[in-house]
A = this chain, B = another copy of it.
Amino acid sequence: MYIPTLADMVAAHTRIKPHIHLTPVLTSSYINVLAGAELFFKCENFQKAGAFKARGASNAVFGLSDEQAAKGVATHSSGNHGTCLSYAAGRRGIPCTVVMPHTAPQAKKDAVRGYGGKVVECDPSTSSREAVFADVVAETGAEFVHPYNDPRVIAGQGTCSRELIEQVDGLDAVVAPIGGGGMVSGTCLTLSNLAPGIKIYAAEPEQADDAYRSFKAGHIIADDAPNTVADGLKVPLKDLTWHFVRNHVSDILTASEEDIVDAMKLIWKRMKIVMEPSSAVPLATILKNKEIFAGKRVGIIVTGGNVDLDKLPWQ
């Protein structure tokens, strides 16, 4: 496997700058008092297409040769990666196909189509998804862009923490949610090279704690049936993301469903921003582990803001 380098991240940043927002960093004096730490929220919920995944997707799409690009891109994702890949493909004006189960929320299908992408439905099983996806690639010759286990994607996600350390001086730690590990890997790539003194923590739901258990065990363990309100974090680590997690993450902290929903509501209420349950996991773990962060300057990656306003988790 090819492990992306600092140079890849820097090249990615130059490549994607015209297609992404330099997202703001917000703070809340109220939440700082509550946490006993100085928290800096890097708001990728304000990112293009509503999630940090616009970074990795844009890097993959705009890094393609014209010949490759003409055949388009494809992925399987019922989450933000599908939407963001469609966004990036739309920006370049190339085809994008996203395979997702017919059971996926209509809003996710609409989001992909809203940016010009095509949705191909499969049954809600790994075998069906892989079979349908293989057909798509065979027919179109589209370039597969994995949601996270892809050097181009990880290099792109790494641009987020590069912005963060340029926006905030003297960070002691950064906390990011972990699902498949794309954002955490990009954060490791950037900080281990540019700011090795900053500790990296991954935050995960107790009910989808495969990364936590993998980290403790020293090898990848996949959940059989993770179930959490933080639906962006159900996917397992893969070899490339495991490499970064194993080598650069200080610890993985977990939070209960109740803690996650409470933290989400607290952020909405006090910071007046709309963000996903997944994005609340870092604050939930910080409030549960105050001793680790006491008096520290802590960056938090708010990964996205694409939430169903008709089905909020506290209702």
Contacts and interface: CB of A to CB of B under 8 A. Distances in A.
Interface string A254-289: 000000000001001101111100000000000000
A272 B315 contact: no
Interface stretch (A127-135, A166-174, A214-222, A305-313): A305-313
A198 to B, nearest CB: 26
Contact of A273 (B265, B273, B312, B314): B273
A269 B50 CA distance: 9
A148 interface: no
A185 interface: no
A309 B265 contact: yes
Interface string A32-75: 00000000000001100010000000000000000000000000
A315 B315 CA distance: 10
Interface string A295-313: 0000000000100011010
A46 B309 contact: no
Contacts of A95: none
A45 B310 contact: no
A179 B305 CA distance: 31
A272 B310 contact: no
Contacts of A268: 274, 309
Contact of A309 (B24, B269, B271, B273): B269
Contact of A305 (B45, B272, B305): B272
Contacts of A274: 268-269, 272-274
Contacts of A45: 272
A65 B94 CA distance: 66
A117 to B, nearest CB: 16
Given A24-B24, A315-B315, A50 B272 contact: yes
A309 B309 contact: no
Contacts of A309: 265, 268-269, 312, 314
Contacts of A26: 46
Contacts of A273: 272-274
Nearest to A114: B30
24 contacts: A24-B24, A26-B46, A45-B272, A46-B271, A46-B272, A50-B272, A265-B309, A268-B274, A268-B309, A269-B274, A269-B309, A272-B273, A272-B274, A272-B275, A272-B305, A273-B273, A273-B274, A274-B274, A309-B312, A309-B314, A310-B314, A310-B315, A312-B312, A315-B315
Given A45-B272, A272-B275, A310-B315, 19 more contacts: A24-B24, A26-B46, A46-B271, A46-B272, A265-B309, A268-B274, A268-B309, A269-B274, A269-B309, A272-B273, A272-B274, A272-B305, A273-B273, A273-B274, A274-B274, A309-B312, A310-B314, A312-B312, A315-B315
7 closest A-B pairs by CB: A272-B305, A272-B274, A45-B272, A268-B274, A46-B272, A268-B309, A272-B273
